[in-house]
Amino acid sequence: MTARAYLDWNASAPLRPQAREAMLAALEVTGNPSSVHAEGRAARAIVERARAQVAELAGCAPAEVVFTSGATEAAQVLPRLARGGWVAVDPLAHECLWAHRGGGDGAPGVYAMPLAEGETGLLRGLPSRDEEGLWQTEAGSTPRLVVDAVQAVGRIPFDFARSGAQAAILSAHKLGGPRGVGALILREGVDIDSLAPGGGQELGRRSGTENVAGIAGFGAAAAAAAADMAAGLWEEVAALRDEMEAALMAAAPEAVIIGRDAPRLPNTTAIAVAGWKGETQVMQMDLAGFAISAGSACSSGKVRESRVLGALGLAPELARSAIRISIGPATPREAVMGFVAAWERHLRKHRARAA
């Protein structure tokens, strides 16, 4: 059987060997990180090392990093920051933010937005601030901003300290860490009710014994991701992505690459051929040995149009035909070009059936 090619990094990046090694080492440590004895201190040291590694990647202070079970839990900061106001959410936001959207009279108490949209890779610029420090958003002026940095961190530069945002959310598995661990970055001086009331871990901001092994993997992945960026590996990924897109468009001049001329993540292609359903393409490519998607992993498998593609103004038929290919530094060129060849073969069959 031909080896499979994984081209769905925006859903979940492959686990980095550095993360696996750190997790295995952490699993050998017995103590609870809240315990004061030597075993507990050893576990605490693992957590704090990872906290510093994540902070270095995100451009924040270690004390601003709150470990969570993932970005969805971290997004629960939104109603806590609204402070009696309502939660406004960018139309291109991930479902974990969209679930908290509200409405009401007056200005919102908090605005949430992605730095990079995961289905298309489109980048979103931060809103401006007025002389009073209020964020000027399409929903109105608001004193607080939460940024979803899940798809961006580790692929493009992000400096939380300079962003001015009150909070950001991260997920380990998008940058090669384990699934089931993430972080809320909460600016110093911003207080919230605990995401999970209980024993008061994470300085009272998220109770529950820390997932030491998962956090260790997160930290190691963050350090490795920072090294990749410093080495210019994502520029190489962008060049391979562009080569793939040129080949796809040569095979299908009628295709639309969504956001091709706009700022995007270096690894993401969203392409649509009207009338050729995205779900059909995903199944065909899967059988051919290529893992791609027809949208975010949180909505894949659900027979409904993409909310995000609709917000971008795509016609329903085109939105239903969109697929996403997302790659990374470990993706070999032969896998990408093999995908192009397989996609072109199935495109010819689609054209023959439609004739």
Q: Cα-flanking dihedrals φ and ψ of residue 140, to 5°?
A: 120, 180
CB 74 within 8 A of CB 65: no
CB 88 within 8 A of CB 101: yes
CB 257 within 8 A of CB 226: no
User: Pairing between strand 110-114 and 140-142?
Assistant: unpaired
State the catalytic residue, choosing from 298, 311, 315, 341. 298
CB 23 within 8 A of CB 217: yes
* Among candidate residues 328, 23, 7, 66, the one with its CA nearest the CA of residue 178: 23
User: Pairing between strand 256-257 and 322-326?
Assistant: unpaired
Indicate if 298 belongs to the active site: yes
CB 154 within 8 A of CB 226: yes
According to DSSP, residue 221 is labeled H
Please state at what angle helix 17-27 crosses helix 212-230, rounded to 10 degrees: 150
The residues assigned a catalytic role are 298
